[in-house]
Amino acid sequence: MRILPVLAAVSLSTVVVAAPASASPPTPALGPTATGYGGAVSTVDPTATAVGLDVLRHGGNAVDAAVAAAATLGVTEPFSAGIGGGGFFVYYDAKRHRVSTIDGRETGPATMTSTYFINPETGKPYDFQEARVSGLSAGVPGTLATWEAAARSWGTRPLSRLLRPAAAVADRGFPVDATFRQQVTDNAAAFGQFDATSAIYLPGGQPPAVGSILRNPDLADTYRLIARKGTDVFYRGPIAADIVRTVQHPPVSAHPIGTWAYPIRPGRLTRDDIASYRVRRPAPTRSDFRDLTVYGMSTPSSGGTAVGEALNILEQSRLSGADVTQVLHHYLEASALTFADRGRYVGAYTPQWILDRLISDRWARQRACQISPSAAMTKPVPPGDITASGCTPAAVGGPTEQGRSTTNLTVADRWGNVVEYTLTIEQTGGNAMVVPGRGFLLNNELTDFNFTGTQGDAPDPNLPGPGKRPRSSMSPTIVLSGGKPFLALGSPGGATIITTVLQILVNRLILGMPLPAAMAAPRASQRNTAGIQAEPAFHTRYGPALTALGHTFGPDTPELGAATAMEFTSHGGIIATAEPVRRGGGAAGVVHPAR
């Protein structure tokens, strides 16, 4: 979102906690980079960052601040985040020197089968948009359960208190910026089919004007109801009933705004599906890069194994001192190899030995030996054979990819705890249905399953199944040096999340850029397709040299990702960064700014 001076911060502090507003040091305008100490918050949105900083200033820890900021993003970034969706929370506990994760990914209905997205009338898969704007695409939301699990396990405040500032923002409203308006405009046809959605986001039948104040009193009431009664109202009570009704009987308007090209189909989620939702707490993925340890999210996200595998391949390539073209060439090749393996092997139920193998140095050697410094491989490349050793063997089956909205936040506190959290409702605007009377959009996360097999004769690890979680690309990543946090980062962007996180790490760790420059640098994404998806500035700057090595570009894309990141320097220093330009720029803030 656009960078605004944080007028909200002072008044928020009166809402968040009992301490008088005057106890807070003045909050400077939040830009994309802030340096200092005492804790920090980086999100895509100044209001959410201000809320998180306020919690830190009043003695909350990183988990408290992350939950309060995420709840605020549910108001101000409702098309990417919110209690109708899911996500992955990675936490470094400074006292225990341990990285833990929460898997808050959505689950499919217990009745879901591998042909869930095949139209029974035609025997063919639904078009993506037809599946998306339907009850079929909505999984059981995991976000609220994630907040509760995080707050209970590691926080110092009850969830009820952490929801309050977000409820206040929803009541008071926030200024619409150009990014927000554009997101509505892009989704107006879908939103216009549902009165509950258009009542909030299409006031007067139009996307809200830039600078207008958008309020969401239903969401404020929902947050307050949860705060009063606990998360059972959502998973077992009246909100669960409303979610099921919305999914099974999509509340299509009698007077839609605009036209939608597809029938809007009901889904099959039940009260039991929602009541039986549990977060998982998988061990993080762990791999080494030089003398650093890289922790990421395990399945059902493919983020941790993919970032780890690609970094391992790059480590094999011995790139220190290499010129920028060679580094980028290897980055693109390592990424293509990794995506081939991800497509072939990684899904919710991948056995642990395969995941371990994929981020082992032995596997990296087996894959890295296929990269030539002088010629790009023909894409798509086949996946490696997980049961074989040596350089050449390829497994059967082939790859494909698709592309999407989400949001990411990074929080650290004065005690050295760090949270890296990516949350989403999948597409910008999820399945386009606001649950009537509740003020939040439902996700369309189940369309992250492959609708049909993508691996030729080999099994596809990401087909739908009963109660299954769709594979994700979300890659919240924490890098330790000598056992202490060194970097934390993550991004939205569908499958490009993996390459965005990887490229920022390549920029920082191999090319030696300072973190803000590593973040700002133009991006490209090679996900094992014929053409590299690149931002125009990347294509212009590096295209000629990479094309000479045999890389193919296209189609270009205006921007990839909307990352947030932090670097932890000596003596408790923090460099907090967000995007300077992408998605209108983000907002980073520190508790005590460096002078």
Here the tokens at position 138 are 């909505």
Name the minimum Å distance from CB 426 to ligand GLU: 4
CB 195 within 8 A of CB 253: yes
Q: How far apart are CA 180 and CA 55, in angstroms?
A: 25
Minimal distance, residue 496 CB to ligand GLU, in Å: 8
Q: Tell me the closest approach of the beta carbon of residue 294 to ligand GLU, in angstroms.
A: 19
Q: How far is the CB of 302 from ligand GLU (least distance, A)?
A: 8
Eight-state DSSP code of residue 442: P
Instruction: Determine which residue in the list 285, 350, 473, 500 makes contact with ligand GLU, applying CB under 6 A.
Output: 473
Contact call for residue 424 and ligand GLU (CB under 6 A): yes
Kindly determine how many residues on this chain lie close enough to bind ligand GLU according to the rule CB under 6 A: 14
User: C-beta of 97: minimal distance to ligand GLU in Å?
Assistant: 29
**C-alpha torsion 45→429→505→326, nearest 10:** -130
Instruction: Give, as ranges, the residues between 426 and 445 that touch ligand GLU (CB under 6 A).
Output: 426, 445
Give me the DSSP letters along 208-241: PPTT-EE--HHHHHHHHHHHHH-THHHHTSHHHH
CB 251 within 8 A of CB 437: no
Contact window for ligand GLU (CB under 6 A) among 37-45, 108-116, 199-207, 491-499: 491-499
Our CB check for ligand GLU shows the closer of 192 and 476 to be 476
Helix locations, 18-97, DSSP H: 46-57, 62-76
Residue 97, burial from CB neighbour count under 10 angstroms (0-12, 13-18, 19+): exposed
Q: Is 493 in the site for ligand GLU (CB under 6 A)?
A: yes
The reply on whether position 494 binds ligand GLU by CB under 6 A is yes
Tell me whether residue 208 or residue 476 sits nearer to ligand GLU (CB atom): 476
Q: In angstroms, what is the minimal distance from the CB of 178 to ligand GLU?
A: 19
Report the length, in residues, of the chain. 595
Only one of the segments 44-52, 253-261, 380-388, 487-495 lies at the binding site for ligand GLU (rule: CB under 6 A); that segment is: 487-495
Q: Smallest distance, Å, CB 71 to ligand GLU?
A: 19
Phi, psi angles (nearest 5°) of residue 564: -130, 150
Pick the piece of the chain touching ligand GLU (CB under 6 A) from 130-138, 158-166, 314-322, 493-501: 493-501
**Residue of 306, 409, 360 whose CA lies nearest to 90:** 409
Nearer to ligand GLU (CB atom), residue 143 or residue 406: 406
Nearer to ligand GLU, 305 or 472 (CB): 472
Identify the bridge partners of residue 477 per DSSP, sorted by sequence position: 489
458 conformational bin, left if phi > 0, alpha if psi -120 to 50, beta if neither:
beta
Alpha-carbon span 250 to 486, nearest angstrom: 46
Closest CB to ligand GLU among residues 348, 546: 348
Is the torsion defined by CA of 534, 538, 542, 544 positive or negative?
positive
- 3-state SS, residue 527: coil
The verdict on 583 binding ligand GLU (CB under 6 A) reads no
- Peptide bond between residue 399 and the one before it cis (omega within 30 degrees of 0): no
Question: Between 34 and 73, how does the x/- string for binding to ligand GLU read (CB under 6 A)?
Answer: ----------------------------------------
Which residue among 312, 472, 528, 557 contacts ligand GLU (CB under 6 A)? 472
Residue among 503, 479, 481 nearest 491 (CA): 503
Q: What is the closest distance, in whole angstroms, from the C-beta atom of residue 143 to ligand GLU in the complex?
A: 13
Kindly tell me which of 338 and 406 has the beta carbon lying closer to ligand GLU. 406
Which residue lies nearer to ligand GLU by CB, 93 or 341? 341
Catalytic pick among 197, 406, 447, 477: 406
First CA to last CA distance, the chain? 27
Distance CA 410, CA 477 (A): 10
User: Residue 404 interacts with ligand GLU (CB under 6 A)?
Assistant: yes
- H or E element, residue 519: helix 515-520
Q: Is 499 a catalytic residue?
A: no
CB of 504 to ligand GLU, least distance (A): 15
- Interaction pattern, residues 496-515, with ligand GLU; x per rule: CB under 6 A: -x------------------
Chain residue whose CB lies nearest ligand GLU: 406
Token pair for residue 415? 């005690």
Q: Which stretch binds ligand GLU (CB under 6 A): 139-147, 404-412, 523-531, 575-583?
A: 404-412
Q: Report d(CA 445, CA 135) in Å as an integer.
A: 11
| Whole-number Å distance between alpha carbons of 158 and 444 | 29
Choose between 317 and 428: whose C-beta lies nearer to ligand GLU.
428
Task: Determine if 492 is a binding residue for ligand GLU (CB under 6 A).
Answer: yes
Contact 106, 139 (CB under 8 A): yes
The contact set with ligand GLU (CB under 6 A) reads: 404-406, 424, 426, 445, 448, 472-474, 492-494, 497
Residues involved in catalysis: 406
